[in-house]
Amino acid sequence: MKEWMKKLVWVVLFVLGTAVLAACGGQSGGGDPAATVERYLQAKVKSDETTIRSLICSEMEQFAEREIRTFDSVQDVTIEDMVCTDTGNGRVACTGVIKALYGTEQTEFQLTNYRVVQEDGEWKWCGETP
């Protein structure tokens, strides 16, 4: 094979490799925003401080204790039928319900829409959004 053809093959391979890497990097890492919200909500109903602190955005850190203690006085709390979907633009829409038993009273909290942001290459939960 002639020298110029070898160089051409390498250039083509380089361009194709770069294109593939660029296509894979559409979101700058950090996984799935919807999965982050699901993990956050599961941690919240369990009062899992470590997980909540790892998934909360810096803007909401001042409210971390509130988020951690939300269900402290609840005898039984579960999430049912949770499905979260990344709707783009830093928004995640969730359906399902959190059921909490306060004494003898069952209370339901509908899951809603949440804001997520990327910090340090990871998606972070950043509160509810309309």
What's the average model confidence in pLDDT over 28-55?
A: 92
Which pLDDT does position 58 carry in this prediction?
Answer: 97
Pull the structure tokens for residue 45: 């109903």
Which pLDDT does position 114 carry in this prediction?
Answer: 98
Q: Where are the alpha helices (DSSP H) in 49-121?
A: 49-55, 64-69
Pull the structure tokens for residue 54: 């790892």
pLDDT above 90 for 28: no
Which pLDDT does position 7 carry in this prediction?
Answer: 47
Which pLDDT does position 1 carry in this prediction?
Answer: 59
Q: For the chain, first and last CA: distance in Å?
A: 63
Phi, psi angle pair for 90, to nearest 5°: 75, 25
pLDDT above 80 for 9: no
pLDDT confidence of 72, banded at 50, 70, 90? confident
Q: Which domains does the chain have, with CATH numbers?
A: 31-129 (3.10.450.100)
pLDDT confidence of 36, banded at 50, 70, 90? very high
Q: What is the value of pTM for the model shown?
A: 0.75
Q: What is the 3-state secondary structure (H, E, C) of 9-37?
A: HHHHHHHHHHHHHHHHCCCCCCCCHHHHH
Digit-coded pLDDT (tens) for 60-69: 999 999 999 9
Pull the structure tokens for residue 21: 């890497």
What's the average model confidence in pLDDT over 34-45?
A: 97
